[in-house]
Amino acid sequence: MYSDADVDAMHVREADTAVRLGPAPAQSSYLDADRVLVAAHDSGSDAIHPGYGFLSESSSFAQAVVDAGLGWIGPPQDAIAAMGDKSEAKSTVSAAGVPIAPGVTLPLVDVMDALRYTAQVGYPIMVKPSGGGGGIGMGIATDDAEFEAAWTTAVNRSRSLFGESSILLERFTERARHIEVQVLGLNDGRILVLGERDCSVQRRHQKLVEESPSPGLPTNVRAEMFAAAATVADNIDYRGAGTVEFLLDRVSGEFFFLEMNTRLQVEHPVTELVFGVDLVEAQIRIAAGEDSPGFEPDALASNGHAFEFRVYAEDPDTYRPGPGLISEWIEPEGDVRVDSGYAKGDVVSHFYDPLLAKVCVWGSTREEALDKAELALSSFVLDGPKQNLPLLRELLHSRAFRTGDYGTTLLSELKDEKSSSLSKGMSS
């Protein structure tokens, strides 16, 4: 399927059948459930895979697909609904004994009420939309003025992208790692845990680099986190692929449930590389009612280390999107996996997320994987739109990242170090 902005996109060129949904704005195309269902009907499809964006976590869309007599390649609608609202999700998992971050689980719609609750929780505090995911609309406040600005941003982004404007408040953990656990619910009721991914390298509260296993996760904490993730999934009778996200306090070692993404993750290649499985195949087989997900569950084992580096059409310093014509595109070759959506001559639209490609590497050790990543990123040639390859290459040479001793503030710390070095250079 495609919108007018994607008429010449790679996914359209590669498809055997492509159906136009509508105009470029997502609300008039990719987010229009009726148009998607008509496209499925007109093309003779018997199932819908929602990917990892747009309608992928809409329980009402999942129900509409089933009601239309089509197969839904995703978890049960009730499971999507249970985790779709962050407030309800936290109440659900807390009742199951899974730790949640201090804050206000009640969804708030009035800024004055929110300020009163903030006085009880204390600063710094995270302001986040109750619906949606992917870090969209999140903001951190350290005082009342910053809170009101973060509140306005969260409400506006939530209303425009998720169709509602309720907000959650969480105590912000300053020295933290963002860890997510991949789960797979089988048709016989078993919940498989396929390791964890460290997603701590972020900008604008959105992920930029992921790796598995996490270099900063103690063995005992890993076991507890896996058990908690399995409990969350089992509690909602989960089927198919899903991810349970946690925040780990690097000082105390405590971890807290953040949310569950009831879909495939952008970073699924990391898990596929270390476990040797195909998560999309598993999704399809489970949705088709098969007993096997395409591999032997009892033989599941992690092997080696993997990274994913997200290449975006964005300014490497400001992180602002930089759409435009791609005048040169040469992907790295050799022992590397590149999942891409663009090629030379394509135009990066301003309508959608500016993700261009995912550069993924595997090594028998973390050091080997890092060396492969450095080779791959140094040989990726990309000209035209603004892009973040310089930032990714710089990140690879930072001591904190190379040693694995980093948290969610890594990029801001590197930016501060660079500014400090420039200031000292100018003064001398």
For the CA atoms of 97, 102, 106, 107, the dihedral, rounded to the nearest 10 degrees, stands at -120
Q: Report whether 215 contacts 209 (CB < 8 A).
A: no
- The partner residues of 358 in beta bridges, in order of sequence, read 310, 339
Helix (H, G, I), strand (E, B) or coil at 200: strand
Nearest-angstrom CA–CA distance, 311 and 62? 30
Q: At what angle do helices 410-427 and 389-396 cross, to 10 degrees?
A: 90
pLDDT of residue 132: 64
pLDDT of residue 422: 63
Nearest-angstrom CA–CA distance, 268 and 281? 12
Longest CA–CA span in the chain (Å) reads 72
pLDDT of residue 387: 96
The pTM score is: 0.88
Q: Is 323 exposed, middle or buried (0-12, 13-18, 19+ CB in 10 A)?
A: middle
pLDDT of residue 414: 92
Helix (H, G, I), strand (E, B) or coil at 158: helix
| Nearest residue to 309 (alpha-carbon basis) of 352, 372, 373 | 373
pLDDT of residue 133: 62
pLDDT of residue 167: 86
Question: Who's near 240: CB < 8 A, 6+ residues apart?
Answer: 73, 74, 75, 184, 185, 282, 283, 286, 287
Residue recorded with tokens 């009726």:
34
What are the residue ranges in the chain where pLDDT is below 50? none
Count of C-beta atoms within a 10 Å radius of residue 237: 14
| Nearest residue to 328 (alpha-carbon basis) of 389, 261, 384 | 384
| Nearest residue to 328 (alpha-carbon basis) of 311, 345, 341 | 345
